[in-house]
Amino acid sequence: MGSEEGLEQSLLSEDQHIQNEICRPCSGDGSVDINGNPALRHHTGNWKSCLFILGTECCERLAYYGIVKNLVTYLITKFHEGNAIAARNVTTWQGTCYLTTLIGASIADSYLGRFKTIAVFSTIYLIGMLILTLSASVPALKPPSCVGIACLDASTAQYAIFFIGLYLIALGTGGIKPCVSSFGADQFDDTDPLERVSKGSYFNWYYFSINIGSLISGTLLVWIQDNYGWGLGFGIPTVFMALAILSFFSGTTVYRFQKPGGSPFTRNFQVIVASIRKWYIAVPHDSSFLFELPNATAGLNEIRKLKHSSTYKFLDKAATICNLDVKFENSLDPWRLCTVTQVEELKILLRMFPILATGIMFSAIYAQNSSMFLEQGMALDKRIGSFTIPPATLSSFDVISVIIWVPIYDKLLIPIARRLTRNERGISQLQRIGIGLFISILTVTAAALVETKRLQIAKAEGIVHEKVTVPMSILWQIPQYSLAGLSEVFICIGHLEFFYDQAPDNLRSLCTALTLVLVALGSYLSSLILSIVMLITTRRGNPGWIPDNLNEGHLDRFFWLLAGLSFLNLMVYVHYAMKYKHKM
């Protein structure tokens, strides 16, 4: 069996031959440099520009996780919120952070482009961080401290300033997240076989950089927040957000830029309207009779054409030419006649929707890392010798798992898989996502087993009705966090690569945003499940599954419920993944 390098060259030999024949000084995907000129291959893009983007993402994620990792602790200890309310506030805010990605993606794809969108929303993000830091530093803005067992509620103004800062951060990250990953992928030319392979590695290292920032936040910053105060604990992430902005602008001269292609929502809605208006028209059997712009005019938004597919045939009516269209040939109405490429864009989104939807349950499980896993850790023994471990620090094992597994996956598992499958990716993107979904079931199963054992110890020690920690080491949470990290390596990176790869050119920010919306919907689903569980289990005066004193509850049943729902979700995913037809 030959070397990995020899195998890769063999897999790419045909493409490399084509590249040598048409070698050009400029990129072949229509990208331009900062001055609007065609991007030169050797002076822009590739890894030289991605280093700035990876640095930006590392610093921005350090800032973000510097807030979210310990936010539930801040709400419980400083705002004196109950466990369920604090968890619901955190998951709702996290959901909003990812739901706002639709705003950023729409602006980037339609008007500003990814670079300018990142620049604008980074500023909003930094303002939010500054407000949050002030709310935890200025005495008049800080919630009152407890005196003995008496705890006063924070004032309306204190709540307002704190949440204004939080939700400005949510808006800022919504503009950055869908654009940074796709902007980094834009630095690799799809028409260059070697750069196309590098793009697959980029998504792995992009996620690796995210977790480097997350690791620092989950260890050093959490420790600072618990031991040196929240003003400094929020101030350090603010400094790193400023560094993220500096890193981003430092690479301006070597970036490749893709021009925005018009509102994707308008283009898709035009297809729907045109199809309905022509519901009575028969679609020609030969797809060559469907409407498409000639090559000379197809550059309306510099969008590469898509080939016709046989799915969702009703939508082909939008590209079917009728007598009325011929009559007004010189002034075609886009709400009556759409191009094949335009129709295929909508078809792609529809085909991807089931794959997208099955990711929501995974995100609901992942949301437990910063909510129920954290609250479970607060009820365990946090002492290791004379050192006390902050519960949020355990989430670092999630991050460490990612940092360990990304290089193993990229440098060891994929080369082995390439030899076995003769596929340049090793395993398909859909197979990668499916493996991640399965591992996520093991994640929540491990959490359920830990909680079952914790409750057994609480009962044996006779402390069920006491709100005290159970003499069981918090280190028992390491397996569930480690499995969570392993599942991320498969499903989260798989989602990023799959949705970017399958997306049409002018929908890439939007499709990347859809992968992030999964996190939002998962957080909202987690909040919904939590609310329903509390409503049902607290009837007739019962403490419920998740009371403030977890020793009286049944958090294990909540985790088993998530495991069961995740198994059903995996079955649905396998069904749709086997039927999926890739972009042509």
Q: Which pLDDT tens digit goes with each residue over 409-467?
A: 888 887 888 788 776 667 888 988 999 999 999 999 999 999 999 899 988 888 888 87
Whether 195 shows a pLDDT value over 70: the answer reads yes
Spatial separation of the C-alpha atoms in residues 351 and 503, rounded to whole Å: 11
3-state secondary structure of 31: coil
Q: What is the pLDDT of residue 295?
A: 58
The residue written with tokens 């409503």 in the block is 535
Instruction: State the pairing for strand pair 387-388/383-384.
Output: antiparallel
- Structure-block tokens of residue 32: 């331009």
- Structure-block tokens of residue 58: 């590392």
Confidence class for position 164, pLDDT limits 50, 70, 90 = very high
Lowest mean pLDDT among 63-72, 367-376, 505-514, 537-546: 505-514
470 forms beta bridges with 380
Under DSSP, the state recorded for 153 is P
Q: What is the pLDDT of residue 246?
A: 93
Helix orientation angle between 156-185 and 478-502, rounded to the nearest 10 degrees: 60
471 to each of 215, 294, 374, 457, how far by Cα in Å?
27, 73, 17, 7
Confidence class for position 8, pLDDT limits 50, 70, 90 = very low
Contacts of 199 by beta carbon, 8 Å cutoff, 6+ apart = 185, 188, 190
pLDDT tens figures, 508-519: 777 777 777 777
Supply φ then ψ for residue 462, to 5 degrees.
70, 35
First to last CA, the chain: 33
Q: What is the pLDDT of residue 78?
A: 81
Nearest of 235, 221, 245, 186 to residue 56 by alpha carbon = 245
For residues 514-542, give the mean pLDDT: 82
Confidence class for position 237, pLDDT limits 50, 70, 90 = very high
Are 489 and 409 in contact by the 8 Å Cβ rule? The answer is yes
- How many residues belong to the chain? 584
Contacts of 112 by beta carbon, 8 Å cutoff, 6+ apart = 120, 260
Q: Is 323 left (phi over 0), alpha (psi -120 to 50) or beta?
A: alpha
The neighbour count for residue 310, using CB atoms within 10 Å, is: 9
3-state secondary structure of 308: coil
Q: What is the pLDDT of residue 299?
A: 42
Nearest of 242, 262, 222, 210 to residue 67 by alpha carbon = 222
